[in-house]
């Protein structure tokens, strides 16, 4: 593929302490999903706690907001304090929350996965259940950590897909099977978000932005996991990629 017009997609990092130093890291599966499933090029966006959004967005053709083992600090959605020892990443919050809003306002294509999906809900004024499994009424959305990674990221449950949305356009069917690797979930849906898929227990598992200037989809599951092995996950990345390629093409005119 010629490098001229190759879409460049930002991929958000986490800020994590490894030994004596903070590192900016991103799961390789997110980078591979962009490089292999979309044939765009991934560029890591560090979680330094601030980001010159206008400059960064002007150089990118899309942004993938990744999943992470950490939780958003609950003061961002007026939630009660987390349990002691909860893994937070305030530098990521301070980077991704404003960047996500700026990207959507600027019409930069956005795909938000798991923590990224939760960030998108919070940016639009939504809130999160912090421990779905303690509430009752929900199916098990967590992975079984005693099992292999293949099992943890294997198919967990079905989602019902709303007609007329981005996801339905991409997949063309009214249901799909997804993995499930999360403890938190959407409580109050952000203003201006349109539900795109529900789990069998009614939990919102995907949404898009009503009246968005460009592709803006959030999913609670992990389509980046072996994206090319699943026609459904591939379809999500293809739809995102189409929007990124359009933006890249307009840049080289």
Q: Is 235 in the site for ligand LF53FM6H (CB under 6 A)?
A: no
CB 51, CB 63: distance < 8 Å: no
Q: Is 133 in the site for ligand LF53FM6H (CB under 6 A)?
A: no
The minimum distance between CB 182 and ligand LF53FM6H, in angstroms, equals: 3
Q: Is 226 in the site for ligand LF53FM6H (CB under 6 A)?
A: no
Q: Is 230 in the site for ligand LF53FM6H (CB under 6 A)?
A: no
Q: Is 204 in the site for ligand LF53FM6H (CB under 6 A)?
A: no
What are the two backbone dihedrals, phi and then psi, of residue 7, each rounded to the nearest 5 degrees? -70, 140
Q: In this complex, which beta carbon is closest to ligand LF53FM6H, that of residue 6 or of residue 43?
A: 43
> Residue 23's beta-bridge partner residues?
16
> Residue 198's beta-bridge partner residues?
160, 204
**Of residues 51, 182, 224, 244, which has the active-site annotation?**
224
Q: Is 27 in the site for ligand LF53FM6H (CB under 6 A)?
A: yes
CB 217, CB 200: distance < 8 Å: no
**Active-site residue, 222 included:** yes
**Active-site residue, 114 included:** yes
**Active-site residue, 50 included:** no
Question: What is the torsional sign of CA 17, 19, 20, 23?
Answer: negative
> What is the DSSP pairing of strand 193-199 with strand 157-161?
antiparallel
**Of residues 14, 51, 73, 114, which has the active-site annotation?**
114
Q: In this complex, which beta carbon is closest to ligand LF53FM6H, that of residue 67 or of residue 126?
A: 67
Q: Is 115 in the site for ligand LF53FM6H (CB under 6 A)?
A: yes
> Residue 110's beta-bridge partner residues?
63, 216
Question: CA 19, CA 22: separation in Å to the nearest integer?
Answer: 8
Determine the 3-state secondary structure of 220 from DSSP.
coil
List residues near ligand LF53FM6H by CB under 6 A.
Answer: 27, 67-71, 114-115, 181-184, 222
Active site residues: 114, 222, 224
């Amino acid at each position: 593929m010629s490098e001229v017009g190759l879409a460049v997609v930002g991929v958000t990092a986490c800020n994590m302490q490894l030994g004596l130093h903070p590192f900016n890291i991103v799961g390789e599966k997110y980078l591979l999903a962009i490089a292999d499933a979309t044939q765009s090029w991934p560029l890591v966006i560090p979680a330094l706690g601030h980001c010159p959004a206008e400059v960064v967005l002007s150089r990118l053709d899309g942004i993938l907001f990744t999943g992470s083992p950490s939780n958003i600090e609950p003061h961002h959605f007026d939630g009660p304090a987390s349990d002691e020892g909860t893994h937070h990443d305030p530098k990521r919050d301070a980077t991704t929350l404003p960047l996500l809003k700026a990207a959507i306002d600027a019409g930069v294509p956005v795909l938000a996965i798991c923590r990224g999906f939760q960030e998108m809900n919070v940016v639009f004024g939504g809130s999160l259940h912090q421990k779905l499994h303690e509430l009752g009424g929900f199916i098990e959305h967590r992975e079984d950590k005693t099992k292999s990674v293949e099992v943890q990221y294997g198919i967990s449950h079905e989602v019902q897909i709303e007609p007329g949305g981005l996801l339905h356009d991409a997949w063309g069917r009214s249901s799909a099977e997804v993995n499930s690797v999360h403890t938190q979930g959407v409580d109050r849906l952000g203003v201006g978000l349109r539900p795109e898929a529900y789990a069998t227990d009614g939990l919102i598992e995907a949404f898009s932005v009503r009246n968005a200037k460009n592709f803006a989809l959030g999913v609670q599951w992990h389509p980046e996991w072996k994206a090319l092995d699943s026609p459904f996950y591939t379809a999500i990345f293809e739809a995102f990629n189409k929007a990124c390629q359009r933006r890249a093409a307009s840049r080289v005119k």
